[in-house]
Amino acid sequence: MPEAVEQLLLPAECLLCRALLSFADSSRLVCDVCRHRWRPVRPPWCPRCGQPEPLFGRCRLCAEWPTAFGVARSAVWLDAGAREAVHALKYGGLPRIATELATAMAGLELPGIDSAWLVPVPLGRARLRTRGYNQSERLARALGRRWRRPVVDLLVRTRDTAAQTALTPEARLANVAGAFQVRIGDCGLRISSERLKSAIRNPKSTIILVDDVFTTSATLAEAARALERAGAGTVSAVTFGRALVPDFT
Protein backbone atom coordinates (compact mmCIF):
# COMPACT_ATOMS: atom_id res chain seq x y z
CA MET A 1 0.00 0.00 0.00
CA PRO A 2 1.49 3.41 -0.88
CA GLU A 3 2.32 5.26 2.31
CA ALA A 4 -0.07 8.20 1.76
CA VAL A 5 -3.04 5.88 1.25
CA GLU A 6 -2.03 3.82 4.24
CA GLN A 7 -2.00 6.96 6.39
CA LEU A 8 -5.55 7.83 5.37
CA LEU A 9 -6.93 4.38 5.97
CA LEU A 10 -5.20 3.27 9.13
CA PRO A 11 -4.98 5.25 12.35
CA ALA A 12 -1.29 5.99 12.76
CA GLU A 13 0.28 3.97 15.52
CA CYS A 14 3.78 3.60 16.88
CA LEU A 15 5.52 0.70 15.16
CA LEU A 16 7.09 -0.32 18.46
CA CYS A 17 4.45 0.00 21.19
CA ARG A 18 1.31 0.34 19.03
CA ALA A 19 0.23 3.47 20.90
CA LEU A 20 -1.87 5.72 18.68
CA LEU A 21 0.03 8.73 17.40
CA SER A 22 -1.40 12.21 17.69
CA PHE A 23 -2.52 13.84 14.46
CA ALA A 24 0.54 16.13 14.50
CA ASP A 25 2.81 13.08 14.78
CA SER A 26 0.92 10.91 12.31
CA SER A 27 3.71 10.98 9.75
CA ARG A 28 6.14 9.53 12.30
CA LEU A 29 6.56 5.83 12.86
CA VAL A 30 7.79 5.74 16.44
CA CYS A 31 6.16 7.63 19.33
CA ASP A 32 7.98 10.11 21.56
CA VAL A 33 7.96 7.72 24.52
CA CYS A 34 9.73 4.99 22.56
CA ARG A 35 12.16 7.42 20.97
CA HIS A 36 13.09 8.96 24.33
CA ARG A 37 13.98 5.55 25.66
CA TRP A 38 16.89 5.45 23.21
CA ARG A 39 19.99 6.51 25.13
CA PRO A 40 22.55 8.38 23.00
CA VAL A 41 26.18 7.26 23.08
CA ARG A 42 28.17 10.25 24.31
CA PRO A 43 31.85 11.10 24.87
CA PRO A 44 34.30 10.68 26.53
CA TRP A 45 35.12 7.82 24.21
CA CYS A 46 37.99 6.30 22.29
CA PRO A 47 38.48 8.75 19.40
CA ARG A 48 38.74 5.87 16.98
CA CYS A 49 36.04 3.34 17.84
CA GLY A 50 33.76 5.55 19.91
CA GLN A 51 33.72 3.16 22.86
CA PRO A 52 33.85 4.76 26.34
CA GLU A 53 37.51 5.22 27.26
CA PRO A 54 39.23 2.31 28.96
CA LEU A 55 40.31 3.06 32.52
CA PHE A 56 43.95 2.44 31.70
CA GLY A 57 46.06 1.55 28.70
CA ARG A 58 45.05 1.80 25.10
CA CYS A 59 41.69 0.81 23.75
CA ARG A 60 41.61 -2.90 22.99
CA LEU A 61 38.43 -2.81 21.01
CA CYS A 62 40.00 -1.14 17.96
CA ALA A 63 43.65 -2.22 18.42
CA GLU A 64 43.48 -4.88 15.69
CA TRP A 65 41.51 -2.87 13.15
CA PRO A 66 42.95 -2.53 9.65
CA THR A 67 44.84 0.72 9.11
CA ALA A 68 42.25 2.15 6.73
CA PHE A 69 39.49 1.81 9.33
CA GLY A 70 39.47 5.25 10.89
CA VAL A 71 36.44 6.04 12.98
CA ALA A 72 33.27 4.27 14.12
CA ARG A 73 30.32 5.90 15.82
CA SER A 74 26.97 4.64 17.06
CA ALA A 75 23.83 6.63 17.79
CA VAL A 76 22.39 4.89 20.84
CA TRP A 77 23.12 2.21 23.42
CA LEU A 78 21.49 -1.09 22.65
CA ASP A 79 19.41 -1.38 25.80
CA ALA A 80 15.74 -2.19 26.09
CA GLY A 81 14.14 0.46 23.87
CA ALA A 82 16.74 0.44 21.13
CA ARG A 83 16.93 -3.33 21.11
CA GLU A 84 13.21 -3.47 20.30
CA ALA A 85 13.71 -1.03 17.45
CA VAL A 86 16.51 -3.13 15.94
CA HIS A 87 14.43 -6.24 16.45
CA ALA A 88 11.51 -4.65 14.58
CA LEU A 89 13.86 -3.70 11.75
CA LYS A 90 15.46 -7.15 11.49
CA TYR A 91 12.84 -9.65 12.50
CA GLY A 92 9.55 -7.77 12.67
CA GLY A 93 9.27 -7.27 8.93
CA LEU A 94 9.21 -3.51 9.49
CA PRO A 95 11.92 -2.10 7.24
CA ARG A 96 10.13 1.29 7.28
CA ILE A 97 11.39 1.81 10.80
CA ALA A 98 14.83 2.39 9.24
CA THR A 99 13.73 6.00 8.69
CA GLU A 100 13.42 6.55 12.45
CA LEU A 101 16.70 4.81 13.20
CA ALA A 102 18.46 6.87 10.55
CA THR A 103 17.06 10.06 12.11
CA ALA A 104 18.84 9.10 15.32
CA MET A 105 22.05 8.43 13.33
CA ALA A 106 21.94 11.62 11.25
CA GLY A 107 23.53 13.73 13.99
CA LEU A 108 26.65 11.53 14.21
CA GLU A 109 29.81 13.42 13.40
CA LEU A 110 32.48 11.83 11.25
CA PRO A 111 35.26 13.28 9.15
CA GLY A 112 34.60 13.41 5.42
CA ILE A 113 30.79 13.05 5.43
CA ASP A 114 30.50 15.72 2.72
CA SER A 115 32.31 13.56 0.21
CA ALA A 116 31.41 10.13 1.53
CA TRP A 117 29.68 7.16 0.00
CA LEU A 118 27.59 4.99 2.23
CA VAL A 119 28.21 1.27 1.92
CA PRO A 120 25.79 -1.11 3.68
CA VAL A 121 27.20 -4.21 5.36
CA PRO A 122 25.74 -6.97 3.19
CA LEU A 123 23.78 -10.00 4.29
CA GLY A 124 24.56 -13.50 3.12
CA ARG A 125 22.34 -14.87 0.37
CA ALA A 126 20.38 -17.28 2.54
CA ARG A 127 19.55 -14.63 5.13
CA LEU A 128 18.63 -12.10 2.46
CA ARG A 129 16.26 -14.62 0.96
CA THR A 130 14.47 -15.34 4.26
CA ARG A 131 14.32 -11.71 5.40
CA GLY A 132 13.50 -10.27 2.00
CA TYR A 133 15.66 -7.18 2.57
CA ASN A 134 18.96 -6.16 4.07
CA GLN A 135 18.30 -4.05 7.15
CA SER A 136 21.68 -2.30 6.82
CA GLU A 137 20.86 -1.33 3.26
CA ARG A 138 17.55 0.16 4.41
CA LEU A 139 19.40 2.11 7.08
CA ALA A 140 22.00 3.29 4.58
CA ARG A 141 19.33 4.49 2.13
CA ALA A 142 17.44 6.37 4.86
CA LEU A 143 20.67 7.91 6.14
CA GLY A 144 21.79 8.73 2.60
CA ARG A 145 18.59 10.74 2.13
CA ARG A 146 19.31 12.66 5.34
CA TRP A 147 22.96 13.27 4.51
CA ARG A 148 22.35 13.60 0.76
CA ARG A 149 25.07 11.08 0.07
CA PRO A 150 25.00 8.17 -2.38
CA VAL A 151 24.59 4.58 -1.27
CA VAL A 152 26.79 2.10 -3.08
CA ASP A 153 26.33 -1.65 -2.75
CA LEU A 154 30.03 -2.20 -2.87
CA LEU A 155 30.36 -5.31 -0.73
CA VAL A 156 29.12 -8.86 -0.99
CA ARG A 157 29.36 -11.71 1.48
CA THR A 158 31.36 -14.49 -0.02
CA ARG A 159 29.67 -17.04 2.21
CA ASP A 160 26.84 -17.28 4.70
CA THR A 161 28.29 -16.82 8.15
CA ALA A 162 26.75 -18.12 11.36
CA ALA A 163 24.78 -15.56 13.39
CA GLN A 164 27.35 -13.66 15.46
CA THR A 165 25.14 -13.37 18.54
CA ALA A 166 25.81 -16.88 19.84
CA LEU A 167 29.59 -16.70 19.44
CA THR A 168 32.50 -15.81 21.68
CA PRO A 169 34.65 -12.85 20.55
CA GLU A 170 37.37 -15.14 19.13
CA ALA A 171 34.79 -17.20 17.29
CA ARG A 172 33.26 -14.00 15.90
CA LEU A 173 36.60 -13.05 14.34
CA ALA A 174 37.06 -16.48 12.79
CA ASN A 175 33.43 -16.53 11.67
CA VAL A 176 33.75 -13.37 9.56
CA ALA A 177 37.37 -13.76 8.37
CA GLY A 178 37.41 -13.29 4.61
CA ALA A 179 33.61 -13.06 4.51
CA PHE A 180 33.48 -9.91 2.39
CA GLN A 181 34.52 -8.97 -1.08
CA VAL A 182 34.32 -5.76 -3.06
CA ARG A 183 31.96 -6.07 -5.98
CA ILE A 184 32.88 -3.83 -8.85
CA GLY A 185 30.14 -4.66 -11.32
CA ASP A 186 26.47 -4.36 -10.38
CA CYS A 187 26.94 -2.09 -7.38
CA GLY A 188 24.11 0.25 -8.28
CA LEU A 189 26.27 3.03 -9.69
CA ARG A 190 26.17 3.83 -13.37
CA ILE A 191 29.88 4.25 -13.84
CA SER A 192 32.44 2.04 -15.47
CA SER A 193 34.39 -0.52 -13.46
CA GLU A 194 37.61 1.38 -14.11
CA ARG A 195 36.17 4.64 -12.81
CA LEU A 196 34.74 2.90 -9.78
CA LYS A 197 38.08 1.24 -8.99
CA SER A 198 39.90 4.54 -9.19
CA ALA A 199 37.20 6.27 -7.12
CA ILE A 200 37.73 3.68 -4.37
CA ARG A 201 41.47 4.33 -4.48
CA ASN A 202 41.05 8.11 -4.55
CA PRO A 203 42.58 9.36 -1.28
CA LYS A 204 39.86 12.01 -1.10
CA SER A 205 36.98 9.57 -0.99
CA THR A 206 35.62 8.38 2.33
CA ILE A 207 33.64 5.20 2.54
CA ILE A 208 31.22 4.99 5.45
CA LEU A 209 30.04 1.49 6.33
CA VAL A 210 26.50 1.34 7.65
CA ASP A 211 25.25 -1.41 9.96
CA ASP A 212 22.48 -1.82 12.51
CA VAL A 213 24.54 -2.77 15.56
CA PHE A 214 28.16 -2.47 16.73
CA THR A 215 29.03 -5.32 19.08
CA THR A 216 32.66 -6.44 19.03
CA SER A 217 33.28 -4.65 15.70
CA ALA A 218 34.53 -7.92 14.15
CA THR A 219 32.11 -7.62 11.22
CA LEU A 220 32.83 -3.95 10.54
CA ALA A 221 36.59 -4.49 10.78
CA GLU A 222 36.39 -7.36 8.31
CA ALA A 223 34.28 -5.30 5.90
CA ALA A 224 36.80 -2.45 6.22
CA ARG A 225 39.60 -4.94 5.49
CA ALA A 226 37.94 -5.96 2.22
CA LEU A 227 37.66 -2.29 1.20
CA GLU A 228 41.27 -1.69 2.20
CA ARG A 229 42.36 -4.60 0.00
CA ALA A 230 40.54 -2.91 -2.88
CA GLY A 231 42.61 0.21 -2.25
CA ALA A 232 40.32 2.31 -0.05
CA GLY A 233 42.31 4.78 2.03
CA THR A 234 39.69 5.85 4.56
CA VAL A 235 36.84 3.74 5.84
CA SER A 236 34.54 4.82 8.67
CA ALA A 237 31.47 3.18 10.13
CA VAL A 238 28.17 4.22 11.63
CA THR A 239 25.64 2.04 13.39
CA PHE A 240 22.33 2.72 15.05
CA GLY A 241 22.98 0.67 18.19
CA ARG A 242 26.02 -0.16 20.28
CA ALA A 243 26.11 -3.21 22.52
CA LEU A 244 26.41 -2.23 26.17
CA VAL A 245 29.28 -4.44 27.25
CA PRO A 246 31.29 -5.92 24.42
CA ASP A 247 33.10 -8.80 25.99
CA PHE A 248 36.40 -8.78 24.16
CA THR A 249 38.60 -10.27 26.84
8 A C-beta contact, residue 89 and residue 101: yes
Cβ nearer to Zn ion, comparing 17 with 171: 17
Interface with Zn ion by CB under 5 A: which range of 10-18, 74-82, 143-151, 188-196?
10-18
Closest approach, Cβ 209 to Zn ion, in A, equals 16
Is 14 near Zn ion (CB under 5 A)?
Answer: yes
Dihedral sign (CA 142, 145, 146, 152): positive
Closest approach, Cβ 81 to Zn ion, in A, equals 9
Q: Which of 16, 94, 210, 227 binds Zn ion (CB under 5 A)?
A: 16
Cβ nearer to Zn ion, comparing 18 with 190: 18
3-state secondary structure the chain: CCHHHHHHHCCCECCCCCCECCHHHCCCCCCHHHHHCCCECCCCECCCCCCECCCCCCCCCCCCCCCCEEEEEEEEECCHHHHHHHHHHHCCCCHHHHHHHHHHHCCCCCCCHHHEEEEECCCCHHHHHHHCCCHHHHHHHHHHHHHCCCECCCEEECCCCCCHHHCCHHHHHHHHCCCEEECCCCCCCCCCHHHHHHHHHCCCCEEEEEEEEECCCHHHHHHHHHHHHCCCCEEEEEEEEECCCCCCC
Closest approach, Cβ 19 to Zn ion, in A, equals 5
Is 31 near Zn ion (CB under 5 A)?
Answer: yes
Distance of CA 240 to the CA centre of its chain: 6
Cβ nearer to Zn ion, comparing 137 with 222: 222
Is 46 near Zn ion (CB under 5 A)?
Answer: yes
Is 223 near Zn ion (CB under 5 A)?
Answer: no
Is 230 near Zn ion (CB under 5 A)?
Answer: no
Is 34 near Zn ion (CB under 5 A)?
Answer: yes
Binding to Zn ion (CB under 5 A) within 50-69 occurs at: 59, 61-62
Closest approach, Cβ 30 to Zn ion, in A, equals 6
Cβ nearer to Zn ion, comparing 34 with 75: 34
Is 88 near Zn ion (CB under 5 A)?
Answer: no
Cβ nearer to Zn ion, comparing 117 with 248: 248
Interface ranges with Zn ion (CB under 5 A): 14, 16-17, 19, 31, 34, 46, 48-49, 59, 61-62
